[in-house]
Amino acid sequence: GAVVSQHPSWVICKSGTSVKIECRSLDFQATTMFWYRQFPKQSLMLMATSNEGSKATYEQGVEKDKFLINHASLTLSTLTVTSAHPEDSSFYICSASLSGNTIYFGEGSWLTVV
Amino acid sequence: DAKTTQPPSMDCAEGRAANLPCNHSTISGNEYVYWYRQIHSQGPQYIIHGLKNNETNEMASLIITEDRKSSTLILPHATLRDTAVYYCIVRPITGRRALTFGSGTRLQVQP
């Protein structure tokens, strides 16, 4: 079964509004989670590394004020897309390490900004 | 992290073995080889990983060459549900680094 869960699976929001995506590790504690974005027919691109109890580390070119990440507990990280625009429409995916070095991914969240 | 090279696409007949190659000629001694796949509109699914020995689990087998510069993922009896993009990724043993995805191989299993 799934070890990392995301919610919602899909969301439609109006341009200018904010939307929050949750990523939960199931039955294990994840001090580090990772957020990716994937556009159609492209590969996954790492956006940021979410660290429990500290600030997230963003990849070059990713606006930290636009993509707010909060990792307030060992089982939950959230990604908030602020002031969303149509170009933010994408497939957002989170991942976390269960044990050792294996990383598991959530089901992904489709965001459509209209 | 070491860069990997995979063919962009492959076809395989249903029921036959699918052999997906990956080159990672710059891999270092402290890097594992991981394989994931992504079925359309889903998050990536972990398949298998290894360091230098061949590995097998319920999903697949991983064959790593002795010099560790290449590997092959083997799906022994491909089904239509194995149609997906397969990613070969190398990652250090230690640390909390994320996985870096390349373009992968799009495997189409034909009926």
pLDDT in tens, B71-107: 999 999 999 999 999 999 998 877 678 899 999 999 9
Question: Are A103 and B43 inside 8 Å of each other by CB?
Answer: no
CA distance B77 to chain A (A): 22
- Calculate mean pLDDT across residues A100-112: 89
> What does the pLDDT look like over A66-101, one tens digit per residue?
999 998 888 999 999 999 999 999 999 999 987 666
Pairing of strands A102-105, A32-38: unpaired
Tokens representing residue B66 in the block: 């002795």
CA distances from A37 to A26, A67, A102, B93 (A): 22, 11, 20, 24
3-class DSSP state of A88: helix
- What's residue A52's pLDDT? 85
Contact of A60 with chain B, judged by CB distance below 8 Å, is answered with no
Q: Pick the residue from chain B with its C-alpha nearest to A33.
A: B98
Closest residue to B100, CB basis, from A46, A93, A106: A46
Report the C-alpha gap between B39 and B59 in whole angstroms.
15
How large a percentage of chain A has pLDDT more than 90?
A: 75
Contact of A104 with chain B, judged by CB distance below 8 Å, is answered with yes
Closest residue to A43, CB basis, from B32, B98, B104: B104
- pLDDT bucket at A34, cuts 50 / 70 / 90: very high
Report the C-alpha gap between A9 and B42 in whole angstroms.
10
pLDDT at residue B16 tops 70: yes
B55: which strand partners? B62
Contact of A110 with chain B, judged by CB distance below 8 Å, is answered with yes
